[in-house]
Structure 1
Amino acid sequence: MTADSPAEPELPRGVALAWGVVVNPQRGPKRELSIERIVEAAVGIADAEGLGAVSMSRVAQSLGYTTMSLYRYITGKDDLVLLMQEAASVLPIPDSGIERDWRTGLTAWVAAVRGAYAEHPWLVDIPVSGAPVTPNALAIVDWFLREARDLPLTDGEKISTLLLLTSYIRATGAQERDIAAAAGSDADGAQQPGAGAFAALAELVTPERFPDLAPVFLGGDYLADGEPDTADDTVFGIERILDGIEYHVARLADGRPTPAPLVPPPSLALPRDRAVREAAKARREAEKALREAQKREREAVKRALEKDREDRRRADERGARDAERAARDAERQAERAGRG
Structure 2
Amino acid sequence: MAEADDVELPRGIALAWGVAANPQRGPKREMSVEQIVDAAVEIADAEGLAAVSMAGVAARLGYTPMSLYRYVSAKDDLVLLMHEDATGAPPESVREADGWRAGLEELYRAQLASYHRHPWVLDVAITGSPLTPNGAAWMDAGLRILADTPLTHDERMTVILLVTGAARWAGIVAAGYARSMRETGADAAEITRREDALFRQLVSADSYPDLRAAVDAGVFVADRDPFAEGLRISLDGVADYIADADGRRKSGAVPARALFEEEDAAIAGDKRYREAQRAQRDAEKQLRDARKVVRQVAREARERSRADSR
TM-score (norm 2): 0.75
Given that 1:251 and 1:257 are in contact with CA atoms closer than 8 Å, whether structure 2 keeps it comes out as no
Q: How does 1:219-230 map to 2 (within 5 A)?
A: 219-222=217-220, 224=221
Q: Could you tell me which residue of structure 1 aligns to residue 180 of structure 2?
A: 182
State the shift of 1:148 in Å: 1.1
Structure 1 CA distance for aligned equivalents of residues 192 and 93 of structure 2? 45
Structure 1 CA distance for aligned equivalents of residues 91 and 29 of structure 2? 33
Given that 2:33 and 2:71 are in contact with CA atoms closer than 8 Å, whether structure 1 keeps it comes out as yes
> Is the helix fraction higher in 1 or 2?
2
State the shift of 1:193 in Å: 5.7
Find 1:236's aligned residue among 204, 229, 232.
229
Q: How does 1:57-96 map to 2 (within 5 A)?
A: 57-94=55-92
Structure 1 CA distance for aligned equivalents of residues 262 and 95 of structure 2? 48
Using a 3 Å threshold, how does the CA distance of structure 1 residues 26 and 178 change in structure 2: closer, same or farther? farther
Structure 1 CA distance for aligned equivalents of residues 19 and 44 of structure 2? 26
Given that 1:26 and 1:73 are in contact with CA atoms closer than 8 Å, whether structure 2 keeps it comes out as no
State the shift of 1:277 in Å: 8.3
Query: Sequence identity of aligned pairs in percent?
Result: 41
Using a 3 Å threshold, how does the CA distance of structure 1 residues 280 and 122 change in structure 2: closer, same or farther? closer
Using a 3 Å threshold, how does the CA distance of structure 1 residues 37 and 268 change in structure 2: closer, same or farther? closer
Given that 1:91 and 1:112 are in contact with CA atoms closer than 8 Å, whether structure 2 keeps it comes out as no
State the shift of 1:196 in Å: 10
Structure 1 CA distance for aligned equivalents of residues 193 and 93 of structure 2? 46
1:288-312 deviation line (CA, Å, top 9, x unaligned): 5568x69xx9xxxxxxxxxxxxxxx
1:184-217 deviation line (CA, Å, top 9, x unaligned): 211258x94636973x764665656654444543
Equivalent residue letter for 2:171: G
Q: Could you tell me which residue of structure 1 aligns to residue 20 of structure 2?
A: 22
Q: Could you tell me which residue of structure 2 aligns to residue 218 of structure 1?
A: 216
| Secondary structure of 1:185's aligned partner | helix
Given that 1:88 and 1:120 are in contact with CA atoms closer than 8 Å, whether structure 2 keeps it comes out as yes
Structure 2 CA distance for aligned equivalents of residues 38 and 48 of structure 1? 16
Given that 1:206 and 1:214 are in contact with CA atoms closer than 8 Å, whether structure 2 keeps it comes out as yes
Q: Could you tell me which residue of structure 2 aligns to residue 283 of structure 1?
A: 280
Structure 1 CA distance for aligned equivalents of residues 272 and 58 of structure 2? 59
1:198-249 deviation line (CA, Å, top 9, x unaligned): 3x76466565665444454334333x3xxx868x222111112211111111
Q: How many residues align?
A: 280
Given that 2:90 and 2:137 are in contact with CA atoms closer than 8 Å, whether structure 1 keeps it comes out as no
Tell me if 1:251 matches 2:244: yes
1:163-189 deviation line (CA, Å, top 9, x unaligned): 222222222211221122122211258
Runs of 4+ in 1 over 6 A off after TM superposition: 264-269, 274-279
Equivalent residue letter for 1:44: E
Using a 3 Å threshold, how does the CA distance of structure 1 residues 62 and 279 change in structure 2: closer, same or farther? closer
Given that 1:106 and 1:144 are in contact with CA atoms closer than 8 Å, whether structure 2 keeps it comes out as yes
State the shift of 1:60 in Å: 0.6
Q: Could you tell me which residue of structure 1 aligns to residue 305 of structure 2?
A: none
Q: How does 1:125-274 map to 2 (within 5 A)?
A: 125-187=123-185, 192=191, 194=193, 198=197, 202=200, 210-222=208-220, 224=221, 232-254=225-247, 257=251
Structure 2 CA distance for aligned equivalents of residues 216 and 168 of structure 1? 22
Using a 3 Å threshold, how does the CA distance of structure 1 residues 86 and 27 change in structure 2: closer, same or farther? farther
Structure 2 CA distance for aligned equivalents of residues 143 and 112 of structure 1? 12
Structure 1 CA distance for aligned equivalents of residues 179 and 81 of structure 2? 25
| Secondary structure of 1:127's aligned partner | coil
Structure 1 CA distance for aligned equivalents of residues 10 and 80 of structure 2? 11
Structure 2 CA distance for aligned equivalents of residues 277 and 110 of structure 1? 39
Structure 2 CA distance for aligned equivalents of residues 155 and 13 of structure 1? 30
Find 1:10's aligned residue among 8, 11, 15.
8
Q: Could you tell me which residue of structure 1 aligns to residue 296 of structure 2?
A: none
Given that 1:93 and 1:143 are in contact with CA atoms closer than 8 Å, whether structure 2 keeps it comes out as no
Using a 3 Å threshold, how does the CA distance of structure 1 residues 196 and 88 change in structure 2: closer, same or farther? closer
Using a 3 Å threshold, how does the CA distance of structure 1 residues 241 and 26 change in structure 2: closer, same or farther? farther
Q: C-alpha root-mean-square deviation of aligned residues, in Å?
A: 3.9
Q: Could you tell me which residue of structure 2 aligns to residue 104 of structure 1?
A: 102
Using a 3 Å threshold, how does the CA distance of structure 1 residues 257 and 86 change in structure 2: closer, same or farther? same
Using a 3 Å threshold, how does the CA distance of structure 1 residues 25 and 242 change in structure 2: closer, same or farther? farther
